[in-house]
Amino acid sequence: MATYNKITPEIAAQLKAVVGERRFFEGEDIDPNYSHDEMPIYGKYLPDVAVDVETTEEVSEIMKICSANKIPVTCRGAGTGLVGGCVPLAGGVVLCTRRMDKILAYDMENLVVRIQPGVLLKDLAADALDHGLMYPPDPGEKTATVGGNISTNAGGMRAVKYGVTRDYVLALTVVLADGRIIELGKSVCKTSSGYSLLHLMVGSEGTLGIITEMTMKLIPKPICDVSCLVPFRDVESCIHSVPKIKLANLDPQSIEFMDADIVTSSAAFTGNPIFPENVNNEEVGASILVTFVGNDEDELDQKMIKLGEVAEEAGALDVLVVATSANKKEAWAARSSFLTAIEADTKLIDEMDVVVPVDKIPDFLIYIRQLGEENGIRIRNFGHAGDGNLHIYCCSNDLEEEEFKKKVKVIMDAAYTKCAELEGQVSGEHSIGHAKMVYLEESVGEDVFKLMGEIKKVFDPDYILNPGKVCDSSLVS
Amino acid sequence: MLKILVCVKQVPDVDLVTMDPETGNLVREGVPTLTNPLDLNALEAAVQVKERYGGEITLITMGPPMAESTLREGLAVGGDDAILITGRPFGGADTLSTSYPILMAANMKGKFDLIFCGKESLDGATGQMASQLAERFDASQISCCYSIEEITDGKIKATRTLETGKEIVEATLPCLITVEKDNFYGRLPSLKAYLASKTAEITTYTENDIDGLDMNKIGVPGSGTIVPKIYPPELPEPGQIISTGSAKTDVSKLVELLAEKGSI
Amino acid sequence: MQKSDYKNMWVYIEHDGETVAPVSLELCCEIRKLCDVTGEKLYAVIISDLPHEEVDKIRECGVDGIIYVNGTGYEYFNTDAYANVFTVLSRKYNPSAIFVGGTIFGRDFAPRFAVQLDTGCTSDAMELEYDPETGDIQFIEPAVGGKIMAVITVPVMRPQVGTIRPGTFKYAPVGAKENVEAICEEISFDPEAIRCKHIDFIPDDMDPELDIANADCIVCVGNGLKDSEHLERYRVLAKLLGGKIGCTRPLFDRGILPYKLQIGQSGVMVKTKLYISFGVSGAVNHTAGVDADVFVAVDKNPDAQIFNYCDYGIVGDMDEVCDELIDQLKARQA
């Protein structure tokens, strides 16, 4: 078990000297939000000091001071995570990248952009579009930082067609635990040059180094797009249509799944029932939202016609078209509101972000609902049907927190076991943090988990980077 | 069978319109257009009536040829027929000289029992068209309709939203109705209807095609109002800007100032 | 027709049989000023009975005359009978202009009698000016989402008809004239001929949070708001300041807040002691609706137009500033 030192006034003064008075916070001046992410249920932990960094050099100086004094450092972006990843379990320093929010340079010849880690996803997405380009990863939380997206290897809706954040990271500037600055990767699309430390860094949640600059791959902006909402009577028929759609060679950009409960919550929340609860006088049990991109309207029409045929065969109630800019805006707003809508009418909430093979989605959903009913916990879910990634929320308004946690643990334990049984993964895109560490260990097995620990030790021998996360179980009592 | 007319308008996305500071003209070029949002609520109300009582919905708009796309959008979600009134002489019309050709063009398709239109448009935003159309069509009028209770024997019973409550009214047909969003959110088109709308036939009327059209009552000559001048809004001198880079310092400065003023 | 044949300006007095709608008094005060410029007389038009003390309020606004209309068909507001009154009266007396409060009723019938009289009608003007060269009133208002100011005139036809939103003009009575002319008109409309009949009225449950026109303090949230999730803190701030929350059009369009909270030319005009905007860009159609003793603006864009309207502005993240303000206000109150 690692031991850490307290931040003495001398050390504090050194840290303050690096960033200056205005970007250094201590005690009561620290933003209380720094004690948690969007899942406060996993506990709140305040740091002793918070610094807002602006340059790679500052990060390097901070790390030098902290490694010399064995002070833990937890890197934080926008704090929109869902597994307690940016929470300073061992106190120490929170190093916040929110001020490193510059889009540095586009290389329009090679379609890459160099940015700082604190750039918000929505800002990168919008700015790329202004340049006629698209940043393909599209995680639901648009106010996350891209640095955070890399640290968790965030996925999002368009993963079906374009892949996940990892596939768009070409190069990183990383500050190591001892303050050394290294460059990983180059702005080229191929590499076969030794172990990929670049990809080790992606998804490492600030436990191996601090990302201070990155080069991301972009693609030309699609010329036009259209979405189809395909409603079904029930979850089973809905999910069973997904492989058929994928096999029909339609190359959808995303296939999103929503059941009747989430549609109702979202309509109540946004006040706009864009996703219908009844179609052709039949109650909708679940729907998928399929998005296509293409070069012209004809191409999209052809894809939709084909989708119509597949959907009809799969028992869809209808196929509805989201084509006008107003409808797209509304559909997007509704889809984006799912998590918020759940949070809005829920006092206690916990979540899981499993991935199962697409054909196993109904099995898993039926199982988890049953678990919910047995334990008196309301289950809400939505997810990326195209890649089997499900967001499942355990909610309660009546239970005391302790009672809730107990019941949820029963559900989680059983659900992760079921997930393993179905050959699934613990996390699709929210990653591990400290909340899901035990489940990671169970899922990958002792050997792999230990190997991860060995790697951590190589990068961070004193365990000062984001202690207690991913595979560092030293803080678990 | 009820004959229903729905008036729609294609509008520029006003949030994206800019003013050329040199010429003082509005820059509409390249600004995306959309169907006036409140018109879609009106159309939804019409479609609900059609579903309940049977009927035929005719969409009508006046505008440049590109306004056709707004009609197609309406055909995709329940319109049966569409009329586009287009031609230079109609240009520059205010509500007085827009309501008139709409009446005359609609008359070419017979008499309508119900006329639906949006409460106001995103661009003009006068909110006058509905009342003036009602007068042109010699129809009763239910504005700000919240829900439609019943249509029987040439009468419509409905609830409308007033400033302080809901008024229940009964009106004779023909009746012109504007609606509140609450119960009339637009629906998504089904794929079949969407594809069919792309090739559907649209009746296009120019000034020469409308029987009995009085040329003095359309376009600029027929307008009651003109806009002799537009200018950019005069901006007052900026106030005292507090921007120290730290929200905390900014806010404490503000709180100090507000306390001095006695505002808090 | 000759424009010069049309003289004097009218204001329609909206009332419920007990009290006069404030907008009608505001209009009397404003049109008094306009008539002083044009040298015309100002008449108030009252349909059906109104208590004396309410009529006195109208006199106090400096009207030259009052036209009292009585007859059948006015028990409840209805477009047919009310529009007819103005068509009949206007044909008889040839006023140069008729002003109607831009309430739901006013907006219902004014454009309608304008068609009957085949004349021009404007709505929501924020300023009224007189052009002595043409003899026309200039109705000045923000247009195209507040991007421009437009001057609208009725150059040929008469009367010039305008509906004006409540709260646009100030109620500042100049005092009653010594002689106020009284004209009584009997105009009946067959109640059977009213095509849209009143059946019932169900008052809304009074939600005081939705009544913001005269709130002491207003926290106004604009399109900068990320989503509904981020709204709560502004409610907290409003409560802390003893005020209410309001919004701009995009938030109503986005379905985040109800229409009754939309501040501006096409929503509610507000008069308040302290107004704090968050994430509001400052288009004139919004700012035109704000009359504040102290105006504070918070927006991340240092070039936002809103800073031209404020007394104090903070350039920064709206949520962050709001949270900070809550903290510091709480600390002060503690």
- Residue where the block lists tokens 């791959």: A217
Residues of A in contact with B76 (CB under 8 A): 321
Q: What is the largest CA-CA distance in chain C?
A: 71
Instruction: Enumerate helices (H) and strands (E) in chain B, giving the number of each.
Output: 6, 15
Same domain, B20 and B78: yes
Last residue of a domain, one of C138, C169, C193: C193
Q: Is the peptide bond before B174 cis (omega within 30 degrees of 0)?
A: yes
Compute the distance between CA of residue B131 and CA of residue B141 in angstroms, rounded to an integer: 7
Strand B26-27 relative to strand B18-19, pairing: antiparallel
What pLDDT score was predicted for residue A476? 67
pLDDT per residue as tens digits for the range B141-161:
999 999 999 999 999 999 999
Tell me which amino acid residue A114 is. Answer: R
Asked if A325's CB is within 8 angstroms of B35's CB, the reply is: no
Residues A352-360: what's their mean pLDDT? Answer: 89
C43 has a chain B CB within 8 A of its CB: no
What is the number of domains present in chain B? 2
- Closest-CA residue of chain B to C104: B162
pLDDT digits (tens, 9 = 90+) for A403-448: 999 999 999 999 999 999 999 988 888 999 999 998 999 889 999 9
C119 lies within 8 A of chain B by CB? yes
Rounded to whole angstroms, the Cα distance separating B78 from C241 reads 49
* CA A271/CA A268 separation, integer angstroms: 5
CATH number at residue C177: 3.40.50.620
Partners of C66 in the beta sheet?
C44, C182
Flag the least confident range among A118-132, A370-384, B89-103: A370-384
Instruction: Give yes or no: residues C161 and C238 share one domain.
Output: no
pLDDT surpasses 90 at B240: yes
Residue B229 counted as domain residue: no
* Pairwise CA distance, residues B57 & B71, whole Å: 12
pLDDT classification of B250: cutoffs 50, 70, 90: very high
Q: Examine the domain organization and report whether B165 and B239 are in the same domain.
A: no
C223 with C188, same domain: the answer is no
Q: Is residue B228 in some structural domain?
A: no
Q: Flag if C152 and B136 touch (Cβ within 8 Å).
A: no
User: pTM of this prediction?
Assistant: 0.87
Q: Are residues B133 and B82 in the same domain?
A: yes
**Residue B224 forms part of a structural domain:** no
Within a domain: residue C200? no
Residue C61 lies in a domain: yes
Residue C23 lies in a domain: yes
What is the C-alpha separation between B151 and B141, in angstroms, rounded?
14
Backbone φ/ψ region at A396: left (φ over 0), alpha (ψ -120 to 50), beta:
beta
| Cβ pair B217, B97 in contact under 8 A | yes
- Contact check, Cβ <8 Å, B188/A304: no
Residue A429 confidence (pLDDT): 87
Neighboring chain A residues of B34 at a CB cutoff of 8 Å: 324-326
User: What is the distance, to the nearest Å, from the Cα of residue C309 to the centroid of all Cα atoms in its chain?
Assistant: 20
Ramachandran sector of residue B168 (left: φ over 0; alpha: ψ -120 to 50; beta: rest): beta
Give pairs for C53-56: CB < 8 Å, separation 24+: C54/C15, C54/C18, C54/C19, C54/C20, C56/C176
Cβ separation of A340 and C254 shorter than 8 Å?
no
Structural domain for B250, as ranges = 234-264
How many whole angstroms from its chain centre is CA C95? 22
Specify if B98 maps to a domain: yes
C234-266: pLDDT as tens digits: 999 999 999 999 999 888 877 788 888 999 987
Look up residue C130 and give its DSSP letter: E
Interchain contact, B35 vs A326, CB within 8 Å? yes
CATH number attached to the domain at A103-220: 3.30.465.10
Q: Do A318 and B190 touch (CB under 8 A)?
A: yes
Instruction: Specify whether B53 is located in the same domain as B176.
Output: yes
A81/A75 Cα distance (integer angstroms): 12
Both C166 and C289 in one domain: the answer is: no
Write the single-letter amino acid at B101: P
Of the candidates C149, C155, C321, which has its C-beta nearest B226's C-beta? C155
Per CATH, the architecture of A346-441 is what? Answer: 2-Layer Sandwich (3.30)
> For the segment C109-159, what is each residue's pLDDT rounded down to a tens digit?
999 999 999 999 999 999 999 999 999 999 999 888 888 899 999 999 999
Q: What is the pLDDT of residues C254-312, one digit of tens each?
A: 778 888 899 998 789 999 999 999 999 998 889 989 999 999 999 999 999 999 999 99
Same domain, B70 and B191: yes
A270 to C228: CB separation less than 8 angstroms, yes or no:
yes
Per-residue pLDDT tens digits for B42-59 = 999 999 999 999 999 999
**How close, in Å, is residue C257 to chain B by CA atoms?**
13
Which CATH number covers residue B72? Answer: 3.40.50.620
The answer to whether residues C13 and C147 belong to one domain is yes
Q: Which comes out higher in pLDDT, residue A346 or C66?
A: C66
Q: Is some CB atom of chain B closer than 8 A to the CB atom of A299?
A: no
Provide the residue range defining the domain that includes C39: 3-193
C255 Cα to chain A: minimum distance (Å) = 6
8 A C-beta contact, residue C116 and residue C79: no
Based on the domain organization, do C146 and C225 belong to the same domain? no
Q: Quick one: C167 and C115 in the same domain?
A: yes
Cα distance from N-terminal residue to C-terminal residue, chain A: 11
Per-residue tokens: C211 = 């009544």
**Nearest by Cα to C97 from C18, C176, C163, C179:** C163
Nearest to A116 by CA among A25, A52, A35, A51: A52
Q: Which residue has the tokens 């004094």?
A: A69
Q: CB neighbours of A395 closer than 8 A, spacing ≥ 6?
A: A342, A346, A348, A349, A377, A378, A379, A380
Residue A5 has pLDDT above 60, yes or no: yes
* Domain shared by B69 and B30, yes or no: yes
On whether both C41 and C184 belong to a single domain, the answer is: yes
Neighbour count for residue B19 (Cβ, 10 Å): 18
Note whether A340 contacts C229, CB cutoff 8 Å. yes
Percent of chain B surpassing pLDDT 70: 99
pLDDT at A125 exceeding the cut of 60: yes
Q: Is residue C157 part of a domain?
A: yes
Q: Are residues C176 and C224 in the same domain?
A: no
Query: Distance (Å, rounded) from C-alpha A87 to C-alpha A32?
Result: 11
Of all residues in chain A, the percent with pLDDT exceeding 90 is 73
Same structural domain, B55 and B123? yes
Q: Are residues B177 and B84 in the same domain?
A: yes
ipTM: 0.92
Amino acid at B212: G
A477 pLDDT above the threshold of 60: no
pLDDT score at B24 = 67
- The region of weakest confidence among A164-178, C49-63, C133-147 is C133-147
Residue A159 is classified by DSSP as H
Domains A9-97+454-475 and A224-339 share a fold: no
CATH of residue C316 = 3.40.50.1220
C185 and C246 together in one domain: no
* Segment 274-293 of chain A within 8 Å of chain B by CB: 274, 276
B81 in the same domain as B182: yes
Cβ of B247 within 8 Å of Cβ of C307? The answer is no
Asked, for residue C93, whether it belongs to a domain, the answer is yes
Residues C17 and C163 reside in one and the same domain: yes
Q: Which of C116, C149, C196 to mutate to test the interface with B (most CBs of B within 10 A)?
A: C196
Asked whether A338 and A262 are in contact (CB, 8 A), the reply is yes
* Interface check A301 vs B, CB under 8 A: yes
**Which residue of B lies nearest to A303 if distances are taken between CA atoms?**
B191
A224-339 has CATH 3.40.50.9100 classification: no
What are chain A's partners, defined as 3 or more CB pairs within 8 angstroms?
A: B, C
* pLDDT tens track for A136-152: 999 988 889 999 999 99
pLDDT in tens, A332-347: 888 878 888 888 778 8
Quick one: B22 and B104 in the same domain?
A: yes
Tens of pLDDT, residues A305-340: 999 999 999 999 999 999 999 999 889 888 878 888
Number of cross-chain residue pairs from B and C with Cβ atoms under 8 Å apart: 245
Domain count, chain C: 2
Task: Looking at the structure, tell me whether residues C223 and C167 fall in a common domain.
Answer: no
- C118 interaction partners in chain B (CB closer than 8 Å): 96, 224
Q: For residue B252, give how far its alpha carbon lies from the nearest alpha carbon of chain A (Å).
A: 14
My answer on whether C230 and C170 are in the same domain is no
Contact A379, A368 (CB under 8 A): yes
Q: Six-digit token pair at C281?
A: 């860009």
Asked whether residue B253 is domain-assigned, the answer is yes
* pLDDT band for position A275 (cuts 50, 70, 90): very high
Q: What is the CATH number of domain A9-97+454-475?
A: 3.30.43.10
Same structural domain, B171 and B253: no
- One domain, residues B128 and B238: no
Domain coordinates in residue numbering, chain A: 9-97+454-475, 103-220, 224-339, 346-441
| pLDDT attached to residue C8 | 97
